[in-house]
Amino acid sequence: MVEPSPLARGPKERLEITRLEAGHSSATTDEVAREEPLQLLVDGAPVAILMRTPGWDLELCLGLLHAEGVIQRLSDVAMVRLAPSGQESWPPADLAVEAAPEAENLVDVHLRSPLPAGRLGWQRALPSSSACGICGSATMEALLRVQAPVLGRRIWPLSDILGLPGRLAESQPVFTSTGGLHAAGVVAFGQDKMAVAEDVGRHNAVDKLVGRALLEDRLPLSDCCLVVSGRAGFEIVQKAAAAQIQVLVSISAPSSLAVQTAETLGVTLVGFARGRSANVYSHPERLRLDPATASQPGR
């Protein structure tokens, strides 16, 4: 397993604050989650500025480009330019990296085959005129042109699914100390080990996990389940489907477009997974009630 890409700075920082309590004030310190901009370039051309928590920057950018359909595997990347790592174990031997001291908070991904002019991801092909706007139908139409459906039919015990949010919470060290980060975790069917990434954006955390899997040549993530803190929006479902993840679990609510996308692309979408209960919004055939849940009443 490769080591995570180095942090430009740590994912949290300690600040001096004034604490108000019971009518008194006192000077103290508090840890807050770090948020900084990261510029993503493709072949030297600016693509996006991502607000993220520093750390796993290369994974974040590769995961985003995978979700956008720009790259499918690590061999699509000729080289990347980013700040010096200072770690001999990074990057993987089969990825060329130019260490550039001036590239702080910047990742420049160079592709083996240049993209056609104007094509920097499926979402950038969406209509943008003020006359028609961007709606759910246009989004789905553009997505279905590039996204293959998730076909796996592995049957997951519901007790395993309901246990994932708790396992994710136990693997959030920065959230524990700051209370300011989202997290995403991926676990394979029948496995105990969960890969976890934290970030100020839950979609960034998902991209970091997919980017890590791409670097380790583990895509597609078939027979895997993704669990996210917070709600499940359209982007989370789309990224899960792009990685061929069968089941997506959220501790909060999905949006209507997320449900529509999950149903169309074959993702089992589970929301409000808390304690012994959950709502299943699409493809419930992948879930099985088992004695651990069927014998216990829901909340």
Q: Which residues are catalytically annotated? A: 132
Q: What ranges in the chain are assigned the alpha helix state H?
A: 57-67, 136-144, 158-169, 173-178, 202-215, 234-242, 256-265, 291-294
* Residue recorded with tokens 């420049």: 108
Q: What ranges in 5-118 are assigned the alpha helix state H?
A: 57-67
User: Tokens for 197?
Assistant: 């990434």
Whether the CB-CB separation of 187 and 194 falls below 8 Å is answered with: yes
CA distance 224 to 164: 12
Q: What ranges in 145-278 are assigned the alpha helix state H?
A: 158-169, 173-178, 202-215, 234-242, 256-265
Could you give the angle at the alpha carbon of 259 between the alpha carbons of 254 and 260, nearest 5°?
A: 150
Nearest to 55 by CA among 4, 128, 122: 4
| Alpha carbons within 13 A on the beta-carbon side of 243 | 33
User: Tokens for 235?
Assistant: 């982007």
Whether the CB-CB separation of 218 and 191 falls below 8 Å is answered with: no
| Single-letter code of the amino acid located at 66 | H
Nearest to 244 by CA among 153, 168, 160, 167: 153
| Single-letter code of the amino acid located at 173 | P
Nearest to 78 by CA among 43, 40, 115: 43
* Residues contacting 104, CB < 8 A, separation 6+: 8, 83
